[in-house]
Structure 1
Amino acid sequence: MMDRLLTVDEAAEQLGTTSRFPRRLIAERRIRFVRVGRHVRIPASALSELIERGTVEPRRS
């Protein structure tokens, strides 16, 4: 099954940030992305992976 490809603005909306943040992630190669002609798209699963990598679990006492 093919992953949904998000625009930079859609990715930013899902992350709750401005479009500048996903553009920086792309420029720094910190997130997977797809070039479609001159357009850049971010697979929805790449956002999930980014969130999972950044998730910090609470300490257990």
Structure 2
Amino acid sequence: VKTLWYRAPEVSLGGDTYGAQTDTWSCGCIFAEMITGRVLFAGKDSSGQLKLVV
């Protein structure tokens, strides 16, 4: 998933390898949003997103 809010940290840091771990991160963010009705990490840009995650 390339959408900023669901992007795995390693992708935001420039990683170009996508695997099950990346998909699992994205699915977890989406499931959290479905349960709470709110975006889990709602950053406005890549650096803001990383700050929220870390």
Richer in strand (by share): 1
TM-score clears 0.5? no
More RCO (CA 8 Å, sep 6+)? 2
Q: Say which one has the larger Rg.
A: 1
For normalisation by structure 2, the TM-score amounts to 0.34
For normalisation by structure 1, the TM-score amounts to 0.32
Richer in helix (by share): 2
